[in-house]
Structure 1
Amino acid sequence: MRAQEITFLKLVQGDKQFQVPLYQRTYSWGREQLQRLWEDVGELVDQHLSGEAAAPHFLGSVVLAPGQIQAGGVQRWLVVDGQQRLTTLMLAFTALRDHLAKTGDPRGVDRVHRQILVNEFHEGLDHYRLLPTQADREAYTACVQSRAEAGGSDNIGAAYRFFLGALAEGQEATSDDRWIATVETVLKDLLSIVEITAEPGDNVYRIFESINNTGVGLSQSDLLRNYVFMLLPKRGERVYQELWLPMQQSLGPKNLELLVWLDLVVRGHYKTKQSEIYREQQKRLQPLAGDEDSLHREIAQLTERGRRLLRIIDPQRETSSALRAVLERLAAWGGQTHYPLALHLLDLVDAGSTTPDDAAEALLYVESYLVRRLICQTPTSNLNRIFMEAPKELETDRPAAEAVRRFLSGRRRRWPSDEELREAIHSKPFYWSGRPPQRSYILRRLEESYGSSEPVDFVKASLSVEHVLPQRPAPAWFDLLADETEPNQTPQELHDLLVHTLGNLTLTGDNAKLSNSPFERKQQILDSSALRMNQEIASAQRWGKAEILARADRLTERAVTLWPGPIGGVKPAGEEWPGWAELRAALVAMPSGTWTTYGDVAELIGSHPVPVGAYLGSNATVIGAYRVLTAEGKISPAFRWAEGSDRQPPQELLESEGVRFDPSGRAHGSQRLTAAELATLLGKDVTQPVSHDPLPDGEDAAAAERFRAQLQENWPNTSAGVLAALDFWRLQGGYVTYGRYEETSCFPMLDSGTSRRPHLIWPVAIYPVSGTVEVVFQYLKDRAPFDDTEQRRELLNRLNKIEGIDLPEAKLELRPSFPVRVFAEHGDEICGVLDWFVTTAALDLARRD
């Protein structure tokens, strides 16, 4: 085998084709990996535009084996390893080509298409420079060919849409005309790949197997340790026993790795990636070779910094009560975003450069910054970089707290003002913000602000977030809301705009009792709560729009006091409202063959259908704008393409993507994406009520009886078919669990793992009151064997053969549903699909064993 470092352009140029063999998995990169790559590209673009010398960014290796060469044909290479990187970059170039087409650059379109994507003078499959596995091929070629169905629901389509959106947003954010050309340069010439080529006759599968079954490699901290002690021939044993080993034992492997990275960041090397720790530390320590005194001091300083890191991870170690309190709050918030700045502040405290109280105030601003951004749903894409830059950028001639507040108040760092906070608490769907523990944390802090004489012990209390106005309200709730609707607004639309806002949410340990009960019943339960905020809700006479907005005002006043705002505290003038960027991201995230409504988008971004319509009406070039329809599923009469556009009429374009319309011009409801589904596609944690308790030691008899009673009461003609299917499931080795809420949902569970490593999967969730059966693709995509798109597609296709079930392929990563009444006449067919599901899981278990 031979290896060479090469640019992507040089790798792919020429009459050649990279074929991904059948034994490799399908394309699997998700938003996290794509975002990380795009951030690296963005950094190189910024360096290039500012005139800095931009060193190529190393992506990794691609292992290739020569294939057959036909006379006059292309040189074929089997991609033994590295198909994820190769496919990702090809999709990035496909999106770049299509972005250039939208910006009116036909020469750029032609250049990218011919240089990168295709073998211009070859036809059929030889036309494509990359040929993915059969499972990915159709989705990939749709993107290369710019077909209407490009950008579907699978990972290939999602990656293509990601890059389309990233390019559009990047172009929007810059005033530099060179930006898009620089992106092309970076992708072609500044992404470095090691090309490893096998010899003819090598066993390709054996190479693949050996690459992917290697042992655990040395970590970055292991490499650093080996290097340091190589430079300490005389003192190595002593330094290791006295300093390194105790530090290693107290931190553990992961935190030691974290420490040696943070050590670089706090020193000002904030652009260092965690994969480059060893190289950067080696470069820093190289001049000290031969000076064992200096190296000894370096290890001692690292050890001291390690003790400070432990105070951040475990605040009980902190002796200052003020500093300990805020470190505990940040630990409860979760994540490591604040670690670089917190470690720098502890450095200052221990050096005597600031006081513990001043550092505590500085960290209060950090807490406020994180909380306000979450409530306002400010994008988190550059959050880590902001905190990594902080230690180097803080003004040193001011108290630490003032310096931190000034730094975080910088215009491009987006610390929401009081006005923005008030708007967000009124209108943003807080229930979809951040992670569940962070939402609970904010509500907990708001409750603590009441200063109860007998505060709740939140550590011991088992509390969860409760919607006062229920997510699935009974008709009486809609009757109440009908009195407060605006002209042309339905009670359901008003409900959707209010239900997830902070003013409608509280904490309770009685979530199962409250559920979708009438407000009078909720009043009784909340009034007996130990939480002051619940007693306040219980004192209201009714619970509708006016009460929810009034509570939002009260919570805003508490939030402003708890979490102080930036210096100046005024919303930046002339700056675009962040909700529009979220709208654009949501439309990019929509797979081809789907549509949504102005109301759904308004609910997602915390707006109203009218301004959403006005924004899209004046920005018809927004990617996917034609997919936003009226509440009835019709094209808005006000929708217009940009002047001079030669695009098809919206309905024709949607139909070419696979959206079905009835004769009156109404889009099929199964292909609509709700606000919750849009939020899921954006990566928001759209939590559903905790609905099952997958314990393998038996079924809850009382819950089972509630489910049967509700099913019989609401769907008497369907009850027998559902219960027969559940009995069939048990015969196949599964079991059934039930939800804990008033509507007792049902989950047929299967443990396809081992006694030591359970592997729980379930195909559907059955709701006996609303009469829906959710097919849980969203959960299956993270559970083998259904993490393979083809297996989920097979489940969808088998279900769709049953009359009455119509699941759109565009929802292969969501939770589409069908009516429970299908069980009445087609229970045997559903049992056939369940049998296939169990057999598929069993075959996968046998393969894994």
Structure 2
Amino acid sequence: MPDVFKDPHQRAPSWGNLLTDDGAERKGAAVDTNAMTLRELFGPDQRLVVPVFQRPYVWSEDRNWRPLWEDVTALVQRRLAGQEVHPHFLGAVVLDQMPTATGSMPARQVIDGQQRLTTLQVLLAAVRDAARRLDAHDKYVRALAKLTVNDDDMSDDLDAAYKVWPTNLDRTAFRTVMNGPQAGAPGAAASPGTSVIEQAYGFFTARTGEWAQDLADQHTPDELFDALVRVLRDKLELVVIDLKPQDNAQVIFEALNDRGTPLQASDLVKNLVFQKAEEQSLPVESLYEDVWQRLETPDWREEVRQGRLKRPRLDVFLTHYLTSELGEEVLTPELFLTFRRSVTNARMPLTALMQHLVGQASVYRRLTDDQQPATAEGRFLRTVNVLDANTVVPVLLWLTTRFDETDRAEAVAALNSYLVRRTVGRLTTKNYNRLFLELLKELKAKDDPAVVSDFLLRQDADSGRWPTDHDMYAVLCTQPLYRQLTRARMRLILTELEDALYTGKTERLVHDGTLTIEHLLPQAWESHWPLPAIGPDSAEARERRRTLLHSLGNLTLLTRSLNPAVSNGPWQHKRTDILLHSALSLNRSLPEQWNEDAITARAAHLAEAFCNRWKHPAGHTPVSASAALLPPAPAAVPAPVSVPAPAHASSIRSVVAGIPSARRDVARHIHEAFAQYADGRVLTVAQIAAAGTSQYQPGEISPGAVAARLRANTVDGVETVADSSPLSARRVK
């Protein structure tokens, strides 16, 4: 191994490089700085106490334990080979003197370096127990015991025996490993549920045994442990920075970083809160156990995705919490600074502030839980997760805190419609930060959930407008949504449409997220689905099929086993298998013929269901669930024909863009929809709505509006078919 330890302050590349400008190299600092071996630091009877508010032990094998062990064994190997061994620098720790009663054991608070100190104590305990197990001379066991156990017969505190005393969550595990070989069989890996401290002990115990066994042919156990213990005691150095009474421990804590694993903003927040609690002489231990400990569970440290990045869940919550409380944007790099300012300006006592924050954390966990109830709000919360719409969370946090579920239902429905419609319409999300922040400010000013709909309706720029039914029909009937949306978002839309198609007579099905998206007209259609004609219009027909292939009307949901079984087969077999095995409302009304006209008609029906599910307050003519389906026509009624759709989606978009917003003539639209057919021909209301006329583009008018005009019997040359379901009309002379 390269000789990199000649300079006692040279930093080892694997575990060193840890001294900062506030360490030993800084001149004129108001601190006492000393380089200490482990014997000098741990030898005297004293307690190094980790404050209750610091994070738990988080160091890991690959990043921390293994590099440390490799550095130690490299030094031991040099000693066994008779070479000179220089002190090895392990980094810096920052300590603050704690007040203690006269005659009691000295104690210092660990401001920075608790991960390092805990690791070293666990390493010493593991080597101590391995020496005992391998029958090394008892003097090596005693030498290491002096570095791990205080010996004060006058102390009545059983925990005073420990040189390092970790934070609350780690104390039980720390007692276990420091009291003896109780963390599992020697050399055995720790079980998955074992604490991180016990895993560290298991790692060092196993490595010590393997090391001794590998060198057993060359050295006796006493020779090995003599070299190992001497290196551990006298050749590992820490720079110990002792703060003076005038030093601000919180400021120094913020300036430093626990170098092995970077501190998160939430670590600084926790430290700040409890430092202030100590300054105010509040019961720190009980505040931690009764309030803050709920934020110490592993799931709060779990990293969650925020756009393209991952951050600890607690940091993400604190960002949303501060945004909701302050009504201002909180940037990730400024999270701690913003929190510190909010604490300084808070009008409530610190205890009440902590309780409020933890209470809001519980609300946040409910809002972001993967398992949501089958309620309108629960479905919306699942939608927020699928859409990755995190910018709306501060608004939800505020609404949930201020109003019960009934009172906020309209606001939640408005947010749901707004987000889903803009997502399906592929409208930009770049403005959402500013938009929802402005909404939050207005909500806080007026304290009324009705503000949400009014605010969203006022957004008229493309970056913020709320798409209308007119907009959605144009998208849903023409756009290749399967290509434009992620699979998760497309599955969400279809699942919600399935729910929207239920009637009072329909059994509700529980969807467990295992259904897959299927193209009714398969993507590989050439084998069993040839184009109807080859001629001058073949290019146009192919383009129309290409356009409609990935549109909403051609998509459905099937089980994972049914999907590949029916995927590319002819329609007669495919439809039979789907109707035999699928109970979904999306599939129960599939017609006997499946072509471009059928896709267009089904898209219009699903667009109607979409606009019913995600309503727009500007107006929508509701229809019954049965009218939104496409079941086969009754036997007494001649089978309706399909209304041809325009050949190109682009032509639809260009025409739709120029349609005036004024109300047009529904009766004339119905009359023109029948114009190309002979007397006696029957069309459903959905097929009439899907027709393109001089009054409306395909899908622009809802089937409900058509049905209302037909029931009024005011359209010349057209009459309704009695008792038809869905409602149908016949051309008459």
Q: TM-score when scaled to structure 1?
A: 0.39
The structure number with the bigger radius of gyration is 2
Q: TM-score when scaled to structure 2?
A: 0.44
